Chain A
């Protein structure tokens, strides 16, 4: 079994965390997000991202607004809401805990 396969469920689970992180820097639309993730281990596709974003919006963590684009139709630009910022803070804390645990167990 390939190493990346072993971590497939973990990468999938972390996708939400990473999407929130990317959106927290500045408002983005889906193509930006895909491009940002494309060269990482977390490369993903529209088929995964749109459903994920719709859930995050339903949970009130992100919101979007339509913005005109030079090329083509208006796009949805996603931004982080206040609850989304709180959630991201908690996720980051938790992620650091996990990292500390992993480091501590190895030594």
Chain B
């Protein structure tokens, strides 16, 4: 005795033996997969079901009401595999199959943190973070503001650092990478590949990679020898995972550029900060940071010397920063100058504000100066 399953093929009931049902299910599921993304999928499936129903007629009679597996397999052989490619638009054909091949077996590209300028409120850091963690951007912004209050401005400095370090997503690939794949897989793949990219040029990494390659080759040769002895073709040599590293440089270069820019920017900001204090202290007390001017040096000479000193130090740093901008690629030269100035000024203000509130020395030093400035202004 065999179990019978009743199915509806395009609105008409048919009785199948259970293994015939399994064969039919497999065929229709394969059809669904082949037609994935096809706007007419359900209509084509209905047509196919109708065709199967029509063909079933010749196996059924008043004496026989159940389809057996072999009969159904004969029908499915006549139907032939569902060809998704003939249903695709000819010009889209290559790209869709290519995309499918690229995404399904190889796995999607790893997620990366990018700044996203479309819809950004300041620089795009929050947009990038929201894409990276799959959160709503408003939530990320609120978290950032809350964190800024709780850490006493630390989060804001973190924002500035990210603003310098994190590259902008510009190509569609980078935008895709900004949204990436689920978090866990991302974390692993990302960390491995980023480190591989960053340290690909360091000598230690090179040594370990050479050792790894040698061991890989030994393993491969042994494997091939074994396969050759067994009389089969050698396996296709799969590229070593380290080969993934050379394809990463754009992102790694962005990161390195960003770090250089951030370090130089921070240094410039610190220097500017100290310089401004020196200037203020000169104006307020007639001494530069407690160093009293020699009597014969007039006030204006001291100011001039300070301005010269500032330019002497700041100019090369600025030149380096501007030179670094271009190879990094992600910045537009025309607004770099203006933006750079604003960014440094912002850094100076933030650093000053932070130092005033958190460093006792700076606070003690600035307090009388600010007091004096307030007094001067009110007079």
Contacts and interface: CB of A to CB of B under 8 A. Distances in A.
B40 A58 contact: yes
Contacts of A30: 47, 51
The SS class assigned to the A binding surface is helix
B50 interface: yes
A22 to B, nearest CB: 16
Interface in B102-152: none
Interface in A8-37: 12, 15-16, 30-31
A51 B81 contact: no
A45 B79 contact: yes
Nearest to A76: B47
A51 B89 contact: no
Nearest to B45: A50
A81 interface: no
B88 A73 contact: no
A32 B205 CA distance: 68
B89 to A, nearest CB: 7
A48 B84 CA distance: 8
Interface residues of B, number: 27
B345 to A, nearest CB: 58
Classify chain A's interface size: 20 to 34
B36 to A, nearest CB: 12
B221 interface: no
B57 to A, nearest CB: 7
A38 B47 CA distance: 19
B47 A55 contact: no
Given A30-B51, A46-B48, A47-B31, A54 B83 contact: no
Given A15-B86, A30-B51, A46-B48, A54 B80 contact: no
Interface in A81-100: none
B40 A73 contact: no
Contact of A58 (B12, B35, B39, B51): B39
B50 A73 contact: yes
Contact of B86 (A31, A55, A58, A76): A55
Contacts of A51: 34-35, 38, 44, 82-84, 86-87
B51 A54 contact: no
B40 to A, nearest CB: 4
Contacts of A50: 44, 47-48, 51, 82
A55 B82 contact: no
Contacts of A15: 86
B364 interface: no
28 contacts: A30-B47, A31-B54, A45-B78, A45-B79, A46-B47, A46-B78, A46-B79, A47-B82, A47-B83, A48-B80, A48-B82, A48-B83, A48-B86, A50-B44, A50-B47, A50-B82, A51-B38, A51-B83, A51-B86, A54-B40, A54-B43, A54-B44, A55-B40, A55-B88, A57-B40, A59-B89, A72-B54, A73-B12
Interface of B: 10, 12, 31, 34-35, 38-40, 43-44, 47-48, 50-51, 54, 57, 78-84, 86-89
Minimum-distance CB pairs A-B, first 4? A45-B80, A51-B87, A47-B80, A54-B40
